Every structure is written in C-alpha cells, then in structure tokens.
Amino acid sequence: MNASVSLLRASISLKWSSNSLIRASDSLINASEHVLDASDSQSHSSDNMTSTSEGYNHNYKKDFISYKIFVLCNMKVLQFPLARITIAFITGILSAYSLKPSLSIVFIFICITILIFTGTYYSSRRDKKFQLYFGLAVYLLAFSIGATTQSVHTNSNQQSNYIHYKNIFDKNHTFTLTLREKLKNTAFNERYTAQLNSIDNEKTSGSILLNIRKDSLSHHFIIGNQLKINALLNRNTAQKNPNQFDYSKYLENKQIYAQLYADANEIQIGSIIEKDIWYYTAAFRSRIIQNLEKSHFQTKELNVAIALIMGQQQDIDPEITKDYQYAGAVHILSVSGLHIGFILLFVTLLLKPFPNTKKGLFIKLLIILLSLWLFGVLAGLAPSVVRSVTMFSFVAIGQHLKRSTNIYHTLLVSVLLILLFQPSFLFDVGFQLSYTALFFIIWLQPLFANLWKPKNKIVSYFWDILTVSFAAQIGTLPLSIYYFHQFPGLFFVTNLIVIPFLGFIMSLGVVVMLLAACSWVPYYPAKTLELSIYYLDRIISFIASLEQFIVRDIPLNTSILISGYLAIITLIIAFEHKNTKSIFGVLTAVVLLQLSCITTKWEIQNQAEFIVLNTSKKTQLIERNGSIANVYANDSISGNIRNNAVLSSYLTANFSSLNQQSKLKNVFFFKGNKILLIDSSMVYPRTIHPDVVVLTQSPKLNLDRLITVLNPKIIVADASNYKSVQKRWAVSCKQQKIPFHSTNEKGFFQIN
C-alpha cells in the first residue's frame, strides 16, 4: 500500500533539477515525467504515495504534460493487444504454479501451441477469415510460454536440486555451500541465504536458509565464504496455527525449500572465497558501513540511513520499523524507484559533456543502463529494485531513441520482462502492490488533479502530493487490507510532513555514502545527515503514536477483494464518463460486492469448529460457532487481543469476535464429540469415555493403561508438553494403533 510516496520524492528531486533532461528530448518530457514518477510509485509498493508536477520553467510545458497524461489515462488498457498477451502470460504462470505439471508435459504443450501458432499464422496470411484463429493462437502461445517459464524457473523441477537427493531429510549429510546474502537476524540465529554446491561430495544445486546460532559465534562470516557443514537438513515447516502467515510458502516462492542449523564451531570455512558480483557488492556495502561507524555515526541513525540509501534493513531497530509501519511510511526503508530515479538523473547530468553524436549518445545509454543495474545489484536486486530499474531502463532507452513512450506499453513490457526472467515475483506482495499503485496513479491521479488547479506553486505542490497519494491509496487499499488487515489513517499527513524532508535526506545521504566508499567521511555533511535522520525518526514516531488513527484487524477475503476492486474500477469509470452505461456498471458492481459480503456472512454463520492451538508452553483452545468465539486457556489472555498474534489473526481471518475467555476445564462437548483434557494435575472424571483426549502440561501417566481404560479415537498433545514425553506417547499410540496428533509436528488440531 501507499506505494506512491516514492513517486513524489523522485518527482521533487527530478523536477527541481530536470532542465537538462527536458532539453534532452520530447521523449523525456513524456516518459521521464510520467514514467519516472509512476515508476517510483510502483517501487515502494507497500505504503503511502505522493507526487508533484512543478519544476518546469514554462507553464505550457506543464500543461502539455498534464494533458498527455490525461489522454493516456483515458485509453482503455485492454484494447492494447499487449495487455491481453500479458494477461494470458500471467494466467499461464498461475496455472503452472497451481497444477505443478512435469517439465515433459509443459514442453509437449508449448510445442503443440507453437505448431498451432505457425499454422494459423500462414493460414491468416492466405485467408483473412483465419485471423481470429491466429489471434487466439497468439494468446494460447503466451499462456504456454507463461506456464513454461514458471516450470523452468521452479528449482524443484531440476534433477540436480537437493530435494531429489536420497534421504536428504532423514539423516546428517556433509554440505558444502557458498554464502549469498545476509538476512535479518532472529533472537537466536544469524541468518544467511546460501547456494549448495555439493552433498557428501556429490555435486548438487539449490538455495537454502542457513541459521548459525548466535551464542556459538566466534568469528565473522562474509558473503562469498565457502562453508562445509555436517548437519541435518530440515524441511520448511508449514504454519502451525490457523490463518497465520505461511512462512514456508513464502520461502518456497523464493526457491528455498529447506533450512540448515549449525553452531559456528561445527563449520569449516574454505580457504577460497568465491568473488562474484555478490561478494563485491557486499564488500562495497560493508566498506561504507565500516567507514561511517568509524566516524562515530550513531548506530540507530546509521541503520536507518543504510536502509534508506541501500535498502539493507537487517540491523534496523524493530521498534523503528513498527513506527514506520504505523505511520504509513515503511516503504521509505526500501531501495526502489526514488533511488533509481536519482541515479538516472545524476548519471545523465554527469554525462552531459559527452558529444551528442550517434556514437556518443550510444555510449551514454550504455553507461546509464550499466549504472542503473549496478546500483540495483548493490541494493540486493529485491523485487522493488528490479521493477524500478526495468522501468527506468525503458525511460533511458526512450530518451536515447527520442520517441514518445506510451506509459501503458512501458508498464506492460516491464511486467513481461520481469516475469519472463523471474516469474516468482508475481507472488511477491510488493510486486502486486507496486503495479496496482502505479496503474491507479496514471489512471486516477489526473482526474483528481483536474478537480482543482491552484495557481500558487506551494499550494499546487502539496495538492499534487495529496492527489497522487490518494490515487495510489485507493488503488492499493483492498489488496493492502487483504494482506495486512490494517490501514494507517494518517498516511496523507505522513506524506505532507515527511516527503519534503526526505528529499533532502536522500540527496545528502547518497553523497555521504559515495564519499564513505572512498574512505572519506566529511564531518559536517555526515553530522547533518545523522541529525536529519534523528528528527525524521522523531516525526515518524510521533505520528505512529497516534494509534487511534490506525485501523487494525480488518477482515477481508478473496471474493470481497475481487468485488471490491470491481466496485472501485466502475466508480472511477463512472466519475470519468458520467453516462448511463457507467452508472449501471457501478450498480452491478455494488450488488456483487453486497452479495460477496452476504455470502461470506452466511458461510461464517454456518461454520463451527473446535481447535487446539500450537502455543509454546501454553494451552489455548478455541471453540467457535459462527462469528462468536470462546477461548479457553491456562493463563490470562490480555484484554488487548492484538497482543495475542495467534488469536488475533484467527479472529480476523474468520470475521469473528471474542465472546469470552475462560479457564481450562476437563470436559468439552462439541458436535457430538466428547473431549477430555488431562493436565499435570491428573484430575479428570474416570467414568467418561471420550472421543478425543488432549494432553497438556506433560502429565505423568501411563498412556497404554489410559488408552485401554478410556479407549479414545485419537490422542492430541499440544506444545505445552515436553518433546521427549511426546515421543514416548507417539510410540505408545503406534503400538495401540491409536492416531496421535502432536501440534509441535503437525500443527493445530481441528474438529469441524
């Protein structure tokens, strides 16, 4: 959400200094102003949005640009063949992602579609009546290319991938691997992504997550280190409580299927460091950070500066991150469009002395593209960075060719190129939010801007901030609520206050870090940057402290999401055209939205379930009938439900509210099932014959005798029991041929 806050920031820095770019060509007027700004908004994809339209020396240029944007935004995107091809391509990716066909089936399918495409092409040239079939063949081919791209880029389909290695998850193996990227630490582990080179001296491939226990760290690891570890590889574990973030799926989308845990003293470091591009970029970042640390840059502000300029958020204070989230400004901690736009402008200005000959212009273009992509690599090639670099590369190419760029075509081509090389980005939340925000900015912002055209430049500046911010916010609102279930009500205040301040910080920060890379950190610029970040954090913290303006725990499901977007789109069309047809479209969309809400409510009211949660050292049970939930626990649950993440996410996802919380009891009756709970007190009715026995707090019992006496249908052990005890119970249940469910291993237990 709030993706276009970066749009304004780039606009400010670009427009205030863009006379040279304007003089470069009419292409840059049409592309740089609109695509650069729009591209910035897409890059920061998750929070507030802003833009400005001032900075030109002549008003007629500004009016011409505004008119061009308005004309482009009134075009029907789906009339572009490229749009329909993109939709078919994305559908192919989604189909392969869901169905997971084998590579042989995918290759056979694409060969067939190529034959159909070729046949219909030559037939359409001879007879025009075949043109319709040729068009369908084009979309079918785009679909098959999407499916093939997804299948080929899925590492688990490669036979060399480690998941195909025999007994890979069953016993210890000797792994050799290369560190690729440093990740944010957990409370107990230093974390890295690593590329496997071999298993037991047999060559293999694939990425894993390496966890090195903090209390065992005796030395520092660097990117490029080749390590040798003998340990057990662990599969990614799925979520163990209902409706929680599925971290296993998140890692799988990044082609990481397993994790390795080790102590530092168990790791052998190879003598050779793999000095590839990842090594040099990590070393370059480390050099900058070390030089800034030597200059006594305050740690808290330094970590924010590193996040702002280079997108490295590993060491940033969690409380600061939370403040930025609540203030609707977390996107500024990620490198994306703003940074790439600045690099484009900076390099273009540096290359101004180059002769404008055919050869000189070509060399300029190569240097610009190389600079953009090198900065992208330096920032870690995160999805937002890749999106921005791709978009700005098109801007640079458009400038070189001196051609007017259609913003929708640029947008669609960037989507196709990114997904062609990295289809997993489609499942990245930032990717979805970014392009949604960008589309709504280039479509909706001109409509807002035309409502009022202030003559005062300062007023116009802040009006542009609001219009772009609201356009992107409207576009990303349903998707943002769907993923995060919250809405920062003061996002526009954050934009109005922070964005002008941030432009200065970004400009100064880039200069300071470039100098730090040369081992020179001038005192006054560095101190100014430090103080600026300090006051920025204070402003953000103050806005975040106004929690009454943060709307949390907003429920939203897929049907309401889709119908909500349909309602928003038809409303904008009606606002734009104001005719009977568009009004009818709005009414139809509103009816569909109401039907989605009614259907969801009916489904919820007809649901009933009893759940044993997986909560460490605690016992928590949920009994839900419709939208009313009762919680039973062995400890007091805070009156502020959001402090209990497991319960809060469950209630939100199920459109439910907490009716009451109660102490645990021994016997529960639910939908004809008798549920007996036995804790460490061992007090329970001996005459009951339960269907389900729930064991908590590691009771000292003879499970074989209990099974003989009570004869339950299943034994459930929650996470409050010792793991060693659960292993003994599992053996007993296996011998007695009674199902055993451990929430530690299988996740929550559910009766519905």
- On whether both 130 and 237 belong to a single domain, the answer is no
Q: Does residue 517 belong to any structural domain of this protein?
A: no
Domain limit, last residue, from 256, 278, 300: 278
Instruction: Give the separation between CA 391 and CA 371, rounded to whole angstroms.
Output: 14
Instruction: Identify the domain boundary among 278, 309, 335.
Output: 278
Q: Are residues 697 and 616 in the same domain?
A: yes
Is there a single domain that holds both residue 630 and residue 593?
no
All residue ranges of the chain with pLDDT < 50 are 1-77
The CATH code of the domain that includes 694 is 3.60.15.10
Q: Are residues 119 and 172 in the same domain?
A: no
> What are the C-alpha distances in Å from 267 to residues 151, 203, 259?
34, 19, 15
Q: Which pLDDT score is estimated for 676?
A: 94
Same domain, residue pair 648 and 733: yes
Question: What Cα–Cα distance (Å) separates residue 119 from each residue in 124, 141, 666?
Answer: 9, 12, 72
Based on the fold, state whether residues 743 and 638 are members of the same structural domain: yes
The DSSP bridge partners found for residue 260 are 210, 233
For residue 265, give the nearest of 301, 214, 195, 334 by alpha carbon. 214
Indicate if 659 and 696 belong to the same structural domain.
yes
Q: Is residue 524 part of a domain?
A: no
Say what the pLDDT of residue 570 is.
Answer: 93
Residue 42: per-residue pLDDT: 34
pLDDT tens digits, one per residue of 521-580: 999 999 999 999 999 889 998 988 888 888 888 999 999 999 999 999 999 999 888 888
Residue 348's pLDDT is: 82
- Do 221 and 263 reside in the same domain of the chain? yes
pTM comes to 0.78
The reply to whether 56 falls in a domain is no
Crossing angle for the helix pair 299-310 and 523-545, nearest 10 degrees?
90
Q: Which of 244, 278, 312 is the last residue of a domain?
A: 278
- Residue 541 maps to a domain: no
585 domain-assigned:
yes
CA distance 612 to 742: 10
The reported pLDDT for the residue numbered 148 is 95
The answer to whether position 69 is within a domain reads no
Same domain, 678 and 738: yes
pLDDT value of position 353: 83
Q: Got the DSSP string for 262-286? A: E-GGGEEEEEEE--SHHHHHHHHHH
Q: For position 428, what pLDDT does the model report?
A: 85
Same structural domain, 751 and 631? yes
Question: 3-state secondary structure string, 693-721?
Answer: EEECCCCCCCHHHHHHHHCCCEEEECCCC
Assess if residue 729 is contained within a domain.
Answer: yes
Give how many domains the chain has, as a whole number. 4
Q: Which residues pair with 749 in a beta bridge?
A: 612
d(CA 625, CA 628): 6
CB 724, CB 706: distance < 8 Å: no
Please name the residue ranges forming H helices in 100-168: 103-126, 131-152
Query: How far apart (Å, rounded) are the C-alpha atoms in residues 397 and 215?
Result: 51
Q: Which domain holds residue 223?
A: 162-278
Q: What is the pLDDT of residue 686?
A: 77
Cα 315 from chain centroid? 19
Q: How many residues does the chain have?
A: 752
CB neighbours of 737 closer than 8 A, spacing ≥ 6?
Answer: none
Tokens in use for 105?
A: 């089936």
* Measured torsion, CA atoms of residues 383, 552, 610, 693, in degrees rounded to the nearest 10: 80
**Residue 531 within any structural domain of the chain:** no
Residue 587 and residue 611 in one domain: no
Residues 129 and 217 in one domain: no
Q: Indicate which CATH number applies to the domain containing 231.
A: 2.40.50.140
Q: Shortest CA distance to 11 belongs to which of 403, 427, 441?
A: 441
